[in-house]
Amino acid sequence: MIPTPEKVRVYIALGATDMRKSINGLSLLVEDQFDLDLFSGSLFAFSNRKRDMVKILYWYQNGFCIWQKRLEAETFRWPESEEEVIEIHETALQWLLHGLDLQQAHRQLSYNSVS
């Protein structure tokens, strides 16, 4: 599996990505289109139109890595949104890779006080 340091940020590119793109093409998407820091150690996930393939791009120590999974049956339940990219928790990425739907998960709440 992907090496994930504690508190890694995970970004999901919504919509379809051309899976012919590799490190250079996906890097350009992250920097130019999404305006995110490639060298932060964050994971950047992409899926194709058929939703049967995922690629994850990340910087690890001294170079770029790309991780890919192609399903032989079924599809990934990739989130849909008007946004180009969303940030999700690393646990949610594992759910996606296991075929779970993030729309049915509990939403995260944050409070400043108990009163």
Examine residue 75 and state whether it is found in any structural domain, yes or no.
Answer: yes
What's the domain count of the chain? Answer: 1
Q: Which of 46, 92, 88 is nearest to 68 (CA)?
A: 46
Mean pLDDT confidence for 61-83 = 91
Question: In the block, which residue shows the tokens 């996606």?
Answer: 96
How far apart CA 103 and CA 12 sit, in angstroms, is 14
Task: Using the predicted structure, report yes or no on whether residue 70 has a pLDDT greater than 60.
Answer: yes
Examine residue 113 and state whether it is found in any structural domain, yes or no.
Answer: no
Examine residue 2 and state whether it is found in any structural domain, yes or no.
Answer: no
22 residue type, one letter: S
Examine residue 40 and state whether it is found in any structural domain, yes or no.
Answer: yes
CA-based torsion, 16, 18, 22, 24: positive or negative: negative
Q: What domain range includes position 26?
A: 10-104
For the ranges 2-6, 56-60, 100-104, the one whose mean pLDDT is highest: 56-60
Q: In terms of pLDDT, which residue wins out, 106 or 60? A: 60
How far apart CA 82 and CA 15 sit, in angstroms, is 9
> Given pLDDT bands bounded at 50, 70 and 90, which one contains residue 83?
confident
Give the pLDDT confidence score for residue 7 in this predicted structure: 79
What is the value of pTM for the model shown? 0.84
Give the pLDDT confidence score for residue 87 in this predicted structure: 92
Task: Using the predicted structure, report yes or no on whether residue 108 has a pLDDT greater than 80.
Answer: no
End-to-end CA distance of the chain: give it in Å, rounded.
42
Beta carbons of 48 and 30 less than 8 angstroms apart: no
pLDDT mean across residues, the chain = 88
Question: In the block, which residue shows the tokens 């508190």?
Answer: 7
Examine residue 110 and state whether it is found in any structural domain, yes or no.
Answer: no
For 1-115, where are the alpha helices, taking DSSP H only? 23-28, 90-97
pLDDT tens readout for residues 4-56? 656 789 999 998 999 999 999 999 999 998 999 999 999 999 999 999 999 99
